[in-house]
Structure 1
């Protein structure tokens, strides 16, 4: 009878450890141990030029937004446990003369940006492409070029 009690007690301890381990993991997944990450998009095109953006991740669709010249759009989140968080944004704007410039960009990719950006991933959107702000140097660094230029009336591709 003493052995049966000992096994039962060991099972209870094992289950308690499993439950504690799982609850600890869920806190990690929820971001309790990870710092908050902020993504900031700044329209640096030129006065009068609006930037249309639609950002999403696997889990979140942030919707359509119009960013006026020298304005910004910001959102924040916590990276997941496996550092696989990925947000991409479709963007477009219209050049003087009517042609539309559009592209889709991985705007936050945890494996690339978690340490590069730290808590703030700041992007300047310009006519020649997207620039990332390097906090260590205090400089804007060219990061992505615009992949397409289409005729007036063309929209963002899904």
Structure 2
């Protein structure tokens, strides 16, 4: 029994070392004086509620799970009275081909934009007020 436990622990540690990391950043670029409220979650993690002033950024860094299926979604509110709302898929392991992908989200008055690894230009992805269909495609 002891040998089996040791073998399992060794295999788990080797596989865990292969786990990849990721991160996403959500920038408040709405307009001066307009706060942004963010609440991000995954299946296993609730990142809590966060408020950022104009120019502020909310960052989440993590290690992908061993199955490569990490998924984070975020509820985002913006506006002087936080009257505009949208749910976004902030990070999905299966969508990105880079082992250490980092995704930038720009929260603006006309919608939410995405840039992958800082190399892609900002692309419009979501409109406001919980229109759950993506505008900018995948």
Shorter-chain TM-score bucket reads: 0.7 to 0.9
Residue 20 in 1 paired to residue 3 in 2?
no
- With 100-109 and 32-41 compared, the bigger mean Cα shift is at 32-41
Unmatched 5+ stretches in structure 1:
1-11, 150-158
- Structure 1 contact 117–134 (Cα < 8 Å) conserved: no
Residue 19 (structure 2) pairs with residue 37 (structure 1) = no
Between Structure 1 and Structure 2, whose CA radius of gyration is higher? Answer: 1
Q: Which runs of 5 or more structure 2 residues have no equivalent in the other structure? A: 132-138
Which residue in the other structure is 1:120 paired with? 102
Count of residue pairs the alignment pairs up: 131
Residue 135 of structure 2 aligns with which residue?
A: none
- 2:6 and 2:20 map into 1 onto residues whose CA distance is 25
Greater per-residue helix proportion: 1
Query: In structure 2, do the counterparts of structure 1 residues 35 and 84 end up closer, same or farther at CA, with 3 Å as the change threshold?
Result: closer
Runs of 4+ in 1 over 6 A off after TM superposition: none
Distance in 2 separating the partners of 1:68 and 1:117: 31
Q: Summarize the Cα distance change of 1:86–1:134 in structure 2 as closer, same or farther, 3 Å threshold.
A: closer
Q: Which of 78, 88, 93 does residue 78 from structure 2 map onto?
A: 93
Q: Structure 2-normalised TM-score?
A: 0.78
Which SS does the other structure have where 1:77 is aligned?
strand
With structure 1 as the length reference, what TM-score do the two structures score? 0.69
